[in-house]
Amino acid sequence: MNALMGRMMQMPLLISALITHAARHHAETEIVSRLEDGRTHRYTYRDAELRSRQLAQALGRLGTEPGDRIATLAWNGHRHFEIYFGASGSGRVCHTINPRLFPEQITWIVNHAQDRVLCFDLSFLPLIEKIAPQLASVRHFVALCERAQMPGQTTLANLQCYEDLVGAEDGHYAWPSFDENTASGICYTSGTTGNPKGAVYSHRSTLLHALAASLPDTLNLSAQDTILPVVPMYHVNAWGIPYSAALVGCKLVLPGPHLDGQSLYELFEAEGVTMAAGVPTVWLAVLGHIQDKKLKFSTLQRLVFGGSAAPPSMMKTFQRDYGVDVIHCWGMTEMSPLGTFARLKNGQSALGEESQRRILQKQGRAIFGVDMAILGDDGQPLPWDGEQSGNLIVRGPWVIAQYFGHDDSPLIDVGGQRWFPTGDVATIDVYGGMQITDRSKDVIKSGGEWISSIELENIAMAHPAVHEAAVIGCKHPKWDERPLLVVVKKPGTEVTREALLDFFNGQIAKWQIPDDVAFVDEIPHTATGKIQKLTLRKQFADYRLPTA
């Protein structure tokens, strides 16, 4: 075919364009950060862009090159924001690491990603000192602080001060242009088995995601907004909010490590926050605080709930008692992460309150750019009837095609197209409203963070009194899910609940240790000998954890 080609400019979609746009058109709009020591830092997009350029120069001076991974172990703050733009914008790759992982896992991730520079907030210094000898690829450790805050004594041989590095540069730096498919960031997600896996985002995927995330039926962002991402910048780029914020030029408020209900409420009020985003556990803490102290929000208009299912009662309370619009969304690390949003469609606002609520409680309909389908056990697509649930698959330009360092593809062929299986089980109704009903991947999500059941089972199985162990997620009012260890004891042995839980100490992060142990005579198996997690979850559906 002799197609007529468009006659429009060819401009790669690059992350640097976001920050240069914000600096030109929203130069005086503020970015406010609460620092680790409680002080408030305030500057503008103009300042942030200049310092991102200075950082790009500094990364060059440190001897790093395009493609090199610049890792962060940091809270949501302005310096982390600068690394997002300075590292990616200069062609390097911003690798955000979840500091809540077990030190061995962090070590593994840094080595796997071959990080060259590791930037960290001072609260992570003890952790980094501990793992530094194992971090073979890291050439420079950079403390995200001022000179006066630099630790007097440290075992880190080549520790640099971020403010010194940035301050030494003049900012005469032109953002380079390159292929929009170049890697911009990496985020590792805890797998069900074995080691975490890295999702590698590109400039193109990040920009398309940022555009889609800003739309009215998505995060609904405008230059008039003041946005506070509670969702960490180490978790799927804070759902892409730093990029979308620069795109629309809204004021950005970054809470640092101060994530309790009172601190967040005070920040909402002090900075005039109109929208905030995070996992339900965070909103439970905020709700508890305002109910307890009989407070109201003076500026907050909407809260975005994602990462775990939003409890309907909490959504209702925020809406009814505080006039806050609650937006429920679903996504995952492999999807940059946004996939669906529960928003009313044309005509649906005429529905009664209960009907509307039923629509808004679901995980929602796919945003443009994400296609989804559900498959039955036979691999065939199921109808969108809101009844039949199946394995949820997705495709789109910000959906993963391959994990970092893995040659094999995680994708499957359905109807002649390539799809990513999410590991979630869902129904989709006739209006396209998706609702998660279960999970086929064997993991537990506690307060928005993953716990691998298999890892816990492996530890339990190493105990001399354990014949067989299975770990399932049990409903928990605060954390959504917490792990329950189900154990069949070896004949003739004795072990207590306490001794078993004690056995996990030092082998896994403390918050990942199961909340309770249930001793049973038998664990259900499939014909091929696999543990039937679904049956086990049903068996313990009403189990009340002692921590609940």
* CA end-to-end distance (rounded Å), the chain: 65
Residues 75, 85, 318, 330: which binds ligand AMP (CB under 6 A)?
330
Provide, rounded to whole angstroms, the least separation between the CB of residue 439 and ligand AMP.
Answer: 5
DSSP 3-state assignment of 417?
A: strand
Q: Is residue 445 a contact point for ligand AMP (CB under 6 A)?
A: yes
Residue 427 sits in the site that holds ligand AMP (CB under 6 A): no
- Residue 78 or 445 having the CB closest to ligand AMP: 445
285 binds ligand AMP (CB under 6 A): no
Instruction: Give yes or no for residue 182 binding ligand AMP (CB under 6 A).
Output: no
Active site residues: 189, 334, 445, 450
Give 349's contacts (C-beta < 8 A, 6+ positions apart). Answer: 356
Contact at 8 Å (CB) between 144 and 74?
yes
Q: Under the criterion CB under 6 A, does residue 362 sit at the interface with ligand AMP?
A: no
Q: Toward ligand AMP, which CB reaches closer, 243 or 503?
A: 243
Binding segment toward ligand AMP, per CB under 6 A, in 12-20, 351-359, 421-429, 520-528: 421-429
Taking the least distance from each CB to ligand AMP, the nearer of 16 and 340 is 340
Contact status, residue 78 vs residue 41, Cβ threshold 8 Å: yes
The 3-state DSSP class for residue 164 equals helix
Q: How far is the CB of 196 from ligand AMP (least distance, A)?
A: 11
Burial (Cβ within 10 Å: 0-12, 13-18, ≥19) of residue 360: buried
Using the rule CB under 6 A, which residue among 32, 282, 332, 393 binds ligand AMP? 332
Q: Which is nearer to ligand AMP, 162 or 450 (CB)?
A: 450
Identify which range of 47-55, 422-430, 492-500, 537-545 contacts ligand AMP by CB under 6 A. 422-430
Report the distance separating Cα 206 and Cα 183, nearest Å. Answer: 10
Cα–Cα distance measured from residue 330 to residue 343, given in angstroms and rounded to the nearest whole number: 12
Tokens of 117: 């520079």
Q: Is 26 in the site for ligand AMP (CB under 6 A)?
A: no
Closest CA to 121 of 63, 173, 179, 75: 75
Residue the block writes with tokens 């077990």: 102
What amino acid occupies position 169?
A: E
Given candidates 189, 214, 274, 391, which one binds ligand AMP under the rule CB under 6 A? 189
Interface residue with ligand AMP among 19, 236, 284, 374 (CB under 6 A) is 236
Minimum distance from residue 332 beta carbon to ligand AMP (Å)? 3
Chain CA centroid to CA 249, Å: 22
Phi, psi of 30 (to 5 degrees): -90, 150
Q: What are phi and psi of 341, to 5 degrees?
A: -135, 135
Q: By C-alpha distance, which of 489, 496, 449 is closest to 466?
A: 489
Task: Give the whole-angstrom CA distance, residue 548 versus residue 543.
Answer: 10
Question: Does residue 435 touch ligand AMP according to CB under 6 A?
Answer: no
Count of residues that interact with ligand AMP, criterion CB under 6 A: 19
Residue 256 within binding range of ligand AMP, rule CB under 6 A: no
Question: Distance between CA 315 and CA 361 in Å, rounded?
Answer: 8
Judged by CB, which is closer to ligand AMP: 69, or 439? 439
Distances (CA, A) of 115 to 67, 68, 73: 10, 7, 12
Quick one: which of 251, 439, 463, 533 contacts ligand AMP (CB under 6 A)?
439
Nearer to ligand AMP, 182 or 391 (CB): 391
Q: Is residue 436 part of the contact set for ligand AMP (CB under 6 A)?
A: yes
Tell me which residues in 289-328 interact with ligand AMP (CB under 6 A). 306-309, 328
Interface with ligand AMP, residue 333, by CB under 6 A: yes
Residues that bind ligand AMP (CB under 6 A): 189, 236, 306-309, 328, 330, 332-333, 337, 363, 422-424, 436, 439, 445, 450
